[in-house]
């Protein structure tokens, strides 16, 4: 007699997330909002974070999408996220697992590491960009001296 069959969660209720800190994939429930990495024991947030006003924080870290709305103004050391949409202002270094979308009216001052970057004409970007599918795990990104600009 098979018992407990009804308790097996269907595959639809699971998702694979990749730890922001140690880059190890692991399965979690689709509705999970926060968890502890099985490998490095750091706490991970999975929810999307909307920013609608001024926010000064040491860091913003989530596997979800960070959306900075038009009136949003983020001042932070770093943003670690699953994706980023900027319609307002961001000051800080960005390390995104997913696409970074920058609206024409946006303003970003900081370095950006992301697999893809889409920038609307007119957006203000000040920083260095490391764009490509291979996102190196760089726990402490040290800014190199800026290249000479002619």
In this chain, which of 19, 46, 94, 101 binds Zn ion, going by CB under 5 A?
19
Determine if 141 is a binding residue for Zn ion (CB under 5 A). no
- Which residues on neighbouring strands pair with residue 119, listed in sequence order? 102
Token duo for residue 106: 């946006």
What single string gives the DSSP state of each residue in 2-28? Answer: --SGGGSPPGGGEEEEE-TTT--EEEE
Q: Are 121 and 104 in contact (CB under 8 A)?
A: yes
Q: Which stretch binds Zn ion (CB under 5 A): 12-20, 56-64, 103-111, 129-137?
A: 12-20
We find the least distance from the C-beta atom of residue 61 to Zn ion, in angstroms, to be 12
Nearest CB to Zn ion, comparing residues 18 and 75: 18
Range 32-91, binding Zn ion (CB under 5 A): 37, 39-40
CA torsion sign for 13, 14, 15, 20 is positive
Site of interaction with Zn ion (CB under 5 A): 19, 21-22, 37, 39-40
């Amino acid at each position: 007699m098979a018992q407990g069959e009804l308790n097996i969660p269907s595959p639809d209720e699971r998702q694979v997330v990749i730890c922001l800190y140690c880059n190890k994939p692991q399965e979690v429930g689709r509705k999970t909002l926060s968890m502890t990495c099985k490998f490095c024991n750091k706490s991970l947030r999975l929810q999307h974070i909307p920013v609608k006003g001024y926010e000064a924080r040491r860091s913003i870290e989530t596997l979800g999408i960070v959306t900075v709305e038009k009136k949003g103004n983020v001042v932070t050391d770093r943003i670690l996220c699953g994706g980023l949409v900027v319609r307002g202002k961001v000051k800080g270094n960005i390390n995104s697992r997913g696409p970074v979308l920058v609206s024409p009216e946006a303003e970003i001052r900081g370095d950006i590491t992301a697999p893809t970057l889409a920038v609307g004409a007119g957006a203000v970007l000040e920083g260095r960009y490391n764009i490509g599918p291979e996102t190196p795990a760089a726990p402490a990104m040290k800014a190199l001296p800026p290249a000479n600009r002619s």
